[in-house]
Structure 1
Amino acid sequence: MIATDRRSPRVPLAMPFGWFQVLYSSELAIGEAKPITYFDRDLVIFRTESGAAKVIDAYCAHMGAHLGYGIREHAGSAAAVDGENIVCPFHGWQFNGEGQCKHIPYAKNLPPRVARGEKVIRSYEVREINQCILVWYHPDDIAPTYEPPVVSEATLENDEWGEIKSFTWEISTHMQEIGENAVDAAHFHFVHGTNDIPDVQKQEFGEFTRHGLLKTRNETPRGVIEGFIENFSTGPGLSVIKFSGICDTILLANLTPVHSEHARAMYAFMQKKVDGKTVSGGIGDAIIANICSQMEEDIIIWNRKIYYERPLLCDGDGPFAKFRKWYGQFIPPSPAQD
């Protein structure tokens, strides 16, 4: 069989499920709500008076108004948040982060489902760690099957690392195509212009995790300096990449599906302080700029390539089959119907 026998326009894969970043923690204040779109769904995220971030489907169970858009004093922003609830701008019904209706301001007799405390709007599990707001998505609303890792360097309490520097890209492809770069050392020379192909030291696949280690040779004014790129992935959406050799840098490389062929990449860089001071300018910024430049080079390829179920591979290629088998556990057999 030749590769073109199974050619398909773009990428015929369903959206993956798992933990995904939707915002940075700093982007959502107490009492604030925002409309967001991920997983081919309209959602609303809000932060309650107690400080908890909550995510539910965007449309009110009463008459279908969008909870993410306010009126009058809230015009131009999202709906009001009252204590632990978000308030529908249409009739004032209030819903908590578990999708229950907690108050109807003009009702004398509550609808039976409301009176029984049933969930009337789909809600989503949220974890707020690593200065990120993460949401669990599964098309069949199945409970989380694994937990996202805490990255100690990314906690606000860790004063050995500098503040986050964040970047966002919109990519027109399926997330699996992006993830495959992690096992594709050969592309570094041809896409990014490196003099050498990095040496693969490790590629390990766990139940929900993947661990890779590349040895690199970096040309600098002081000569060639050896370094390492270490990648830890948890599920399809969360990766921690550690760069060492010149300036210790950590990248939270998180991917979230907007829909099956539109991914949002949210990259947050941190660099280790030197003598208690944040690295600024010079080599630190140059490293981040280089990584961002490589991302934009990759996007040129991703936005235009198609997916082969059985690509024609050679002995110098990475373990694509192992990666796809591991990644495939996060892709449902077919898109679920709501």
Structure 2
Amino acid sequence: MTIIASTKRPRVELPMPYGWFQVLYSQQLSVGQSLPLEYFGQELVIFRTEAGEAKVLDAYCPHMGAHLGYGIRDQAGGGSRVVGDSIVCPFHGWQFNGDGQCTGIPYAERMPPRVAKCEQVIPSWQVREQNQCIYVWYHPEGIEPLFEPPQIDEAMPDTDDWGELKIYEWDIATHPQEIGENAVDAAHFRFVHGTPEVPEPTVMRFEEHCRFGLLETEMETPKGRIEGRIENSSIGPGISTVRFSGICETVLMANLTPIDAHNTKAMYAFIQRDGNGQKVGRVGQAIIDDIRQQMEEDRIIWARKRYLEKPMLCDGDGPFAKFRRWYGQFLVAETRDD
């Protein structure tokens, strides 16, 4: 029997983008806790030291290859133990700090040379914790951060006049660029989401690692006709903030993180208040539910569409070329040493 090799190509052939990407919400990692992560096509471990700092390392112990994100015995079902500023390997008890240095081997009388020299023995990741989120820096060539995550004032944990985060997550079977392109695709709102007309953005700017869009529209409400605004800004390909005003002030942190070359985690967190600075109820939840419904509708398209390098565009389409030029700066093909 002749076996014919499959010629089916991936629907999206783009390298993973570099930048800051959310891996957890702060509330998901307690002091002394560790968790396994799978992002950027890699196995990682995150832990919070007893001093409260979040740290991320490659997952595997350099001693005998155990995964540092899975505990045993009294830690079974959770992550490995954390002692002081170090995570403890569940296999032989070796300890590693957030810089990837081995800080202890409980049974060794003579330390391995690299340990004795305090060298890094596990790759570590740059971490920033702000906006109640934990971000890591990814670059396929190991380049240091070229910009910083934004500070979102409404997401400060001690901001009394804004509500708590309302969190929703999706695993989406596509590259994050395909998701990001919705920000400039006005026409899809009518045909995918059923809006009565195609919205026209007032402002669309692309500047270095930042992108900003503004949509102004009039809306019919039970209180009459009001002016509504939607401000959409991105810092790199992973961090986006959308501010809705008019009916109910809403801030959406809409962050995208590559799981691997063909899958993306979308992490959406909503923060709300009404016009008088009061936390909101049913009206605010209706806005959230509408956006969640739009995500479910978009997922049907994203999970099945093919990325076209040269799409056949018309004059009613958005500034896809500008968006792709801006996004393209973050796409660096990973080089491998054979």
TM-score, normalization by structure 2? 0.95
CA contact (8 A) 1:196 1:217 kept: no
Q: Secondary structure at the match of 1:110?
A: coil
Q: Which runs of 5+ in 1 are unaligned?
A: 1-6
Q: 1:185 to 1:276 in 2, by over 3 A?
A: closer
Give 3-state SS (helix, strand or coil) of 1:29's partner.
Answer: coil
Query: 1 CA distance for matches of 2:314 and 2:187?
Result: 11
Query: What one-letter code is carried by the residue in structure 2 that aligns with 1:317?
Result: D
Indicate the residue corresponding to 1:53 in structure 2: 54
For each residue in 1:118-147, what CA deviation from the matched residue of structure 2 results, as whole angstroms up to 9, or x when unmatched? Answer: 111111010000000001111122110100
Residue equivalent to 2:249: 248
Please state whether the residue corresponding to 1:315 is helix, strand or coil. Answer: coil
Partner of 1:199, secondary structure, is coil
SS of the aligned residue for 2:287 comes to: helix
Give the conservation status (yes or no) of the 8 Å contact 1:8–1:306.
no
Distance 1:296 1:221 in 2: 27
Q: d(CA) in 2 for partners of 1:317 and 1:252?
A: 26
Distance 2:242 2:84 in 1: 38
Q: 1:322 matched to which residue of 2? A: 322
d(CA) in 2 for partners of 1:94 and 1:171?
A: 36
Over the matched positions of the two proteins, sequence identity in percent amounts to 61
Letter in 2 for 1:108: E
Shift of 1:115: 1.1
2:136 equivalent in structure 1:
135
Q: Distance in 1 between matches of 2:237 and 2:249?
A: 25
Q: Would the aligned equivalents of 2:252 and 2:270 in 1 still touch at CA under 8 Å?
A: yes
**2:291 maps to 1:291:** yes
Q: What's the offset of the Cα at 1:337?
A: 2.7
Structure-2 separation of matches of 1:336 and 1:136: 18
Q: Distance in 1 between the 2:192 and 2:222 partners?
A: 23
The aligned counterpart of 2:3 is none
One-letter code aligned to 2:54: A
The answer to whether the 8 A contact 1:162-1:273 is kept is: no
Q: CA RMSD in A?
A: 1.5
Cα distance in 2 for partners of 1:275, 1:19 equals 34
Alpha-carbon distance in structure 1 between the residues aligned to 2:12 and 2:71: 37
What SS class does the counterpart of residue 290 from structure 2 fall into?
helix
Q: Distance in 1 between matches of 2:336 and 2:253?
A: 32
For 2:240 and 2:192, locate their aligned partners in 1 and report how far apart those are by CA, in whole Å.
21
Q: Is 1:336 aligned to 2:335, yes or no?
A: yes
**Counterpart residue number, 1:71:** 72
- What letter corresponds to residue 79 of structure 1 in structure 2? S
State the one-letter code of the partner of 1:72.
R
Partner of residue 312, structure 1: 312
Aligned partner of 2:181 in structure 1 is 180
Q: Measure the CA separation in 2 of the matches of 1:251 and 1:321.
A: 26
Letter in 2 for 1:10: R
Write the distance in 2 (CA, Å) between the matches of 1:219 and 1:300: 29
Structure 1 196/225 Cα, relative in aligned 2: closer, same or farther at 3 Å?
farther
What pairs up with 1:23-42 in 2 under 5 angstroms?
A: 23-42=24-43
Counterpart secondary structure, 1:200: coil
1:175, 1:263 within 8 Å by CA — same for their partners in 2?
Answer: yes
Indicate yes or no: 2:158 matched with 1:157.
yes
CA contact (8 A) 1:127 1:134 kept: yes
Higher mean C-alpha deviation, range 235-244 or range 157-166: 157-166
Bigger Cα displacement from structure 2, 156-165 vs 17-26: 156-165
Match of residue 3 from structure 1: none
Q: CA deviation at 1:96?
A: 0.4
What is the deviation of 1:276?
A: 4.8
Contact 2:36 2:45 in 1 (8 A): yes
Matched, 1:166 2:171: no
* Cα distance in 2 between the residues matched to 1:304 and 1:218: 33
User: Distance in 2 between the 1:275 and 1:228 partners?
Assistant: 17
> How far off is 1:9 after superposition?
3.9
Mark the CA change 1:9 to 1:90 in structure 2 (over 3 Å): closer, same or farther.
closer
The alpha carbon displacement at 1:226 in A equals: 3.4
Equivalent AA in structure 2 for residue 11 of structure 1: V
Paired residue type of 2:270: F
For residues 127 and 273 of structure 1, the distance between their equivalents in structure 2, rounded to whole angstroms, comes to 30
Q: Which residue in the other structure is 1:214 paired with? A: 215
Question: Deviation at 1:220?
Answer: 3.4
- Give matches, 1:101-120, under 5 Å: 101-120=102-121
8 Å CA contact 2:210–2:235 kept in 1: the answer is yes
- How many equivalent residue pairs? 330
